[in-house]
Amino acid sequence: MRYVSTRGGMAPATFSDILLGGLAPDGGLTLPESYPTLAPGELAGWRGLSYPQLAFAILSKFAGDLPADALHALIDKTYTAEIFRTEAITPVTPLADNVWLLGLSNGPTLAFKDIALQLLGNLFEYVLLKTDGHLNILGATSGDTGSSAEYAMRGKRGIRVFMLSPHQKMSRFQTAQMFSLPDPNIFNIAVRGVFDDCQDIVKAVSNDIEFKARYAIGTVNSINWTRVAAQIVYYFKGWLAVTTRDDQPVSFTVPSGNFGNICAGYIAKRMGLPIRRLILATNENDVLDEFFRTGVYRVRKTDQVAHTSSPSMDISKASNFERFIFDAVGREPAVIRDLWRQIDTRGYFDLSGTPYFHTVRESGFVSGSSTHQNRMETIRRVYRESGIIIDTHTADGVKVGLEHREDGVPLLCLETALPAKFEDSIVEALGRPPERPTGYENIEALPQRFEVMDADVGKIKDYIARHAG
C-alpha cells in the first residue's frame, strides 16, 4: 500500500516513510491511495479473535512494508491486560435496550487516545532503534492527546516530546496528568490561547521543511496517519461484539472535536464494515455539526471558541476533516487546495448546492450538538437507568446518538474518557465524585513542571532548538 497527500504534492510513499511524520511536505495530510476492502467471508472469520489478533489483521493491510513478525510483536506488546486493565481492551457494556457503551478509556491516561498512542510509541521506538535515529515530537492537545502521548513516549530512547496545551483550559486532572511527569524527555508548554492556536503552531512548524529536517520533528496528533489507522480497529471490535449476522448494520455515535476518532469509523465503513450511521456529536463549538447540516464549514476565531465542560472538544479547526473532504470532492487535490485557501482568506467554505455536498449526504454522517445542561442531564439519565457514570464528552455523544437512534439498529456509543478526568462536572451532575482507578487518587497534589508561553511560532521554535536532542 502506498500513501498520497490530500494536496497532491507528495510522491507516493510507504507506511514506513510516513510513520514518523505529520503533515505531508506540501502541507496536506497523508492517506492511502485507495482503502483496502474486506474479502468475502473475511469479516466472519474475525469473530472470536482477540483484540491483538484483530489489530494485526486490520493494520497489516495498512502497514504492508513492515515485517509481519515485527508488527505482530509490537501489537502484542501494546495491547495487554496489564496496560489496559482488561483482556478485552475495548469492552462493550449495555446502557439501554440495543444501546451499548464501547469502552475505550482503560489505558494509562484513562482516555481513548491511549489505544493508538501506546502503539505509536512502540512503533516509533522500533524504527528509531533500527536506524539509530532520534525524534523530537511536537504535539498539540486540548487535554487527552497530550497525556496519552507523554505516557506512551516517556523514557523511550531517542525521543523527546514537546507538547502544547491551552493555558488553564484543561480539567484539573488532565493538567496534573501531563504536567506532573518528571521524565527528562517530556517538555510541557502551556500556550496563552486556545487549542486551535496550539494546533496552528504545530502545523506552522511542520510546514517549515528546513527546521523540521534539522530538528527531526515528528508528531503524534491525529494528523499522523498511524493514529487514525490504529483507531479503525475498535470499530470492528465493537461491531463484532454486538452483532450475530455478518451483514447486520450498526450505528456509532462519536464525540468529535478534531475529526480523528470518527474519521477512523468512516474508513472502517469504506473498508466494508456494515455501519448504518456515523453520528457526530459536538459541544457548543459546533463547527462540524454546522457543516453536516448546512454544507458550510466555518472556523471560529480564537475569541469565539467557547471554554466548555467537555474541554477536549473545544476545537474550531478539525485537522482530520481534510481527509474526509478529499474523498468527498473526488480526491481532487486542486479542489482541496482551493477550499483550504478559502478558509485562510475568508474563514469558511461552502459546499451547499454543489454535487460534493450530495456525496457528503450519502456518506452516512448525521450530526448534532450538546450544551452544558444537555450533558449534565445525560450523565444523570445514564446513571439513573444503568448505574454507569459517563464523562462529559461521552455524554455529548450519548445525547446526540439517542436523537438519531433507529429502531432495530444497535447503537454503539464511544466512551472517550473516564469520568475521573472531569470530576468537577460529575460532582455538579450527580452530587458526588466518581471513583478513581488505583494510582490516581492524589494526582493533583504532585509537583508540576511546565512553561507558559505566548502563541508565537518563533518563540516555540527557539524553545525546541534549545532543548532538542
Local confidence pLDDT in tens for the 469 residues of the chain: 999 999 999 999 999 999 987 789 999 999 999 999 999 999 999 999 999 999 999 999 999 999 999 999 999 999 999 999 999 999 999 999 999 999 999 999 999 999 999 999 999 999 998 888 899 999 999 878 889 999 999 989 899 999 999 999 999 999 999 999 999 999 999 999 999 999 999 999 988 999 999 999 988 888 899 999 999 999 999 999 999 999 999 999 999 999 999 999 999 999 999 999 999 999 999 999 999 999 999 999 989 999 999 999 999 999 899 999 999 999 999 999 999 999 999 999 999 999 999 999 999 999 999 999 999 999 999 999 999 999 999 999 999 999 999 999 999 999 999 999 999 999 999 999 999 988 888 899 999 999 999 999 999 999 999 999 6
Which pLDDT score, from 0 to 100, does residue 211 have? Answer: 95
113 among known catalytic residues:
yes
Query: In which residue are the cell numbers 475498535 written?
Result: 234
- Dist CA 183 CA 155 (whole Å): 6
Crossing angle for the helix pair 321-328 and 260-271, to the nearest 10 degrees: 40
pLDDT at res. 83: 96
pLDDT for 469 equals: 66
Q: Is the backbone of residue 415 left (phi > 0), alpha (psi -120 to 50) or beta?
A: beta
Q: Using an 8 Å Cβ cutoff, are 213 and 219 in contact?
A: no
Domain boundaries, the chain: 92-110+225-430
Q: Among 455, 120, 416, 78, which residue's Cα sits nearest to residue 280?
A: 416
Which residue type sits at 25?
P
Amino acid sitting at position 137: I
Q: What's the CATH code, domain 92-110+225-430?
A: 3.40.50.1100
Contacts of residues 343-348 at CB distance under 8 Å and 24 or more positions apart, as own/partner, are 343/297, 343/299, 347/298, 347/299, 347/301, 348/296, 348/297, 348/298, 348/299
State the DSSP string of 87-151. TTSS-EEEEETTEEEEE---STTSBTHHHHHHHHHHHHHHHHHHHT--EEEEEE-SSHHHHHHHH
Contact assessment for residue 52 and residue 75, using Cβ atoms and an 8 Å cutoff: yes
- Look up residue 77 and give its three cell numbers: 506488546
For the entire predicted model, the pTM comes to 0.94
**Of 113, 169, 203, 212, which residue is the catalytic one?**
113
Smallest CA-to-CA distance from 368 within 397, 411, 409 is with: 397
